[in-house]
Homo-oligomer: A and B are copies of this chain.
Amino acid sequence: MSIVDRKERDKQIRRNDILVAAEKVFAARGFHNANVSEIAKEAQYGTGTVYLYFKDKEDIYRALILKGLDDFFASVQERTLSLTDPVEKLKCFLAEKFRFFEAHKDFFKLYIVENNSLQSAFSSEREQECMDRHMRIFAIGAAIFQEGIDAGMFKPADPKELAFMFGGLSNYLMMKMVFDGSGGSIERKTDLVMDIFLNGCRKVDGKTQV
């Protein structure tokens, strides 16, 4: 058994080496400009070896997105579950999003920047898997808004729409941060987004309040 086990484990290690290299190369040059031999070289393998672990170039990309989303989902789930207050949950979700993507900037680039433009071109079996993971994460946000609405804390609105906009708001702030390094600490960005999304940017004293 030990030998079979080790082989399997080594296989996973090699597979992972390739994924790590691919993430770097894809993020640096974009899906279309990255080439497989480049990924292989980065991972210190021969070009053909890559094809022992992945069906084709797209398969590498999908596996990468899948792994990233699974990791993100797991970490959000773990931190969010113990909380009950919707506002706290939302804040925790957001902070984790900033933390995770700041720690995985390459993944962020792939996921937010590249992914959209690839959707249309591809339709592998994995495509659906990726979409499932994406929706699962989206659903966390939508559920929190639903809870908040039910609890009378948030205005009645379509929770999916809210989750969508909340995601957009935070993604854009993250983009700014990933590309030009601005935005300040995770704490600051979290508070900023929470404040805008929950309270708005309108000043609330006296006559300017509507």
Contacts and interface: CB of A to CB of B under 8 A. Distances in A.
Of A33, A113, A117, A210, chain B has the most CB atoms within 10 Å of the CB of A117
Contacts of A195: 155, 200
Interface residues of A, number: 48
Interface in A12-59: 28-33
Interface stretch (A73-81, A99-107, A123-131, A158-166): A158-166
Given A168-B172, A197-B200, A198-B202, 13 more contacts: A30-B118, A32-B121, A33-B121, A116-B117, A154-B201, A155-B195, A155-B203, A157-B192, A161-B192, A168-B170, A198-B201, A199-B199, A199-B200
13 contacts: A28-B120, A30-B118, A30-B121, A154-B203, A155-B201, A155-B202, A162-B196, A165-B172, A168-B169, A168-B172, A168-B175, A197-B201, A199-B202
Nearest to A27: B120
A193 interface: yes
Copies in the complex: 2
Nearest to A157: B201
A200 to B, nearest CB: 4
Nearest to A165: B169
Contacts of A153: 202-203, 208
Contact of A208 (B28, B32, B152, B169): B152
A175 B202 CA distance: 26
B164 A173 contact: yes
